Amino acid sequence: MRKWLLLLLLISGIAAGFFWMADRPQVKTEKNDGYEESVRQLRTDMIRQSEIREMDIRLNGISLKNFGYQIRIDENLRLLCQERMLEDVMGCSIVRYSNGNVTVEHGDTVIRLEKDSTKAKIGDQIVDLMAVYQYDETECQLYLPAVRLMKAIGYQTTVSYADNMVNFEEVTTRNPLPARYDMREKDRVTPVRDQGRYGTCWAFASLGALETTLMPYEKNTYSTDHMTLNNSYRLDPSAGGGHTMSIAYLAAWQGPVYEEDDPYGDGETVQGLSAVKHLEEAIVINERDDEIIKGAIYRYGGVETSLYLEMEYTDTYSKYYNQEKASYFYNGEEKPNHDVVVVGWDDDFPKENFSIQPEKNGAYICKNSWGENFGEKGYFYVSYEDVNICSQSIIYTRLEDPDNFQYIYQSDLMGWVGELGFGKEDAFFANCYVPLRDEELAGVSFYATGPRTTFSVYYVPEVKSTSDLSNREFLVSGETRYAGYYTVKIPNPPTLTKGQKYAVVIKISTPGSKRPIAVEYAADERSGQADISDGEGYISLYGEAWNSAEAEGCNVCLKTFTNDRKEDAPDENDTGQDGGTRDGSGSNEEQGEDGNREE
């Protein structure tokens, strides 16, 4: 009986609802003349709001705002994701080709995009990404359609326009790295070179890694002669070198230049050549971590590293080298003596291929600088168990055209030679410069001496004494994952007045460090020519009392980059590489915080 009663009530409710709906007046929605314009205005407002208030980008609910990643919204309100975030955070390999096509790889997933098309090929399927990718020439960054691309690599996208937030939630866990990767097969390496009997492997390795940064979109070969003969260390080419010299040369805009403009091996260099690219970022990994090293190769390009080679050149013998298999495994106690470029890996490379057999399979694929007669047309395989390979690794991650900034002000031409600090992981450092014209402060660069470094950048419009360094204005903050050289662009560049000394102040924190400030100084015979008379730098523990860096015998590594004011026309006599010099002596009346230097 209860069953029939419930059924009767249900039927009655449906009937009542039907008659209520039938009794309602019919409503017809019409688009008036202003409808389309209103929609366009709404879209414009939402896009403008997202540009003014940078979107809070989150990964699994955790904000990434400290890393400066960007999300764009196109005219159809489709999300576009910055290339660097896909590389850094999701572990994608993104390759841009000269014909405008782009390939995104993530483990076994390969996504192929064509220029000006919303369609993409994911595996064997054609998928509509609902938006076309954009390329920002100012940033040298791709912006890729986010939602469906993210889904293809295992992420779900949630957007809140009201909160100006986007969250990427990992819903499918997968290894972004394949078991084997070879940059030669991706057209991402330049031809093998031959250093001959000179001690220039460091320059070949540095530039060999640098050349891969923009490949295959740009295929440039840079001059090792110019790097070895025009850096501020001024050493004989047979004396050898290292990555600190390479980074300093590149960061100072001393190079690179094209090989054809200054050919190798003639013992001479061409004076007056300008850098054809500007280095903006190079990361330094000071510990062996195979997953990090592989990920860096996959995402950014070749890795400069060192190992101990018992052979002096291609025509010498070593028991550690298997010539037939082009393989090398060293398990002794010697320190590194040779630099190479790691361009790939093979987890399944047989351990039996080595003259001295390691315990496990696997090898890094390395590009040498002994010509194509060495190894596998200039390449060889180094066991994962080699005691030196990738114990320190350098990756040149950002390289831009020489018009990224107009002028450079610097006093640290030898770069990061040592560290300075107060026995704590936090410190302040500053440099003063005098602009040669009315300019805008467009960027700064400095070194992070360890991983997970956080920083804040400040600006002091006029400096007459060190007390003025407390009157600083905040510009931008951020965080770095690794040690290395970093360039930070200023979102709203302040104006600089010709002849008026200004300062840039950096607050830095490097976990576990007692000396977080990178400095240039005469540490040894190699860096003995360091010139500390060309700068006005200061260090402080709390940003209140300041000590002169020069009084400590060093220059702080802090460059500034400027452009002409937008309303000003550039001086036709400007070369574009003017350096700021010390002008007047800042007062040191506020002393009392002692710094400690360590090479």
Cβ count within 10 A of residue 558: 29
CA distance 451 to 473: 26
pLDDT of residue 27: 35
- Read off the pLDDT of each residue in 255-280 and give the average, rounded to a whole number: 93
- Read off the pLDDT of each residue in 286-291 and give the average, rounded to a whole number: 92
Tell which residue, 196, 224, 199, 229, has the closest CA to residue 209: 224
Cis ω on the peptide bond leading into residue 494 (within 30° of 0)?
no
Please tell me which of 137-141, 218-222, 533-537, 592-596 the model is most confident about, judged by mean pLDDT. 218-222
Q: Which residues pair with 73 in a beta bridge?
A: 79
- Read off the pLDDT of each residue in 162-182 and give the average, rounded to a whole number: 89
pLDDT over threshold 70, residue 49: no
3-state secondary structure 83-133: HHHHHHCCCCEEEECCCCCEEEEECCEEEEECCCCCEEEECCEEEECCCCC
| Helix, strand counts (H, E) of the chain | 8, 37
Instruction: Assign 4 a pLDDT band (cuts: 50, 70, 90).
Output: very low
pTM attached to this predicted model: 0.84
Instruction: Assign 77 a pLDDT band (cuts: 50, 70, 90).
Output: confident
CB 277 within 8 Å of CB 401: yes
| C-alpha separations of 62 from 58, 71, 82, 154, 569 in Å | 5, 16, 18, 17, 45
Instruction: Assign 346 a pLDDT band (cuts: 50, 70, 90).
Output: very high
Tell which residue, 523, 519, 524, has the closest CA to residue 537: 519
pLDDT of residue 14: 35
Q: Which range is least confidently modeled, 154-168, 388-402, 415-429? A: 154-168
- Read off the pLDDT of each residue in 566-579 and give the average, rounded to a whole number: 53
Q: Which range is least confidently modeled, 163-177, 361-375, 492-506? A: 163-177
List for the chain the helix, strand, coil content (%; round to 5). 20, 30, 50
pLDDT of residue 406: 97
Instruction: Assign 44 a pLDDT band (cuts: 50, 70, 90).
Output: low
User: How does the average pLDDT of the chain come out, rounded?
Assistant: 86
Which stretches of 149-232 are assigned E, i.e. beta strand? 155-160, 165-170, 180-182
CA distance 518 to 248: 12
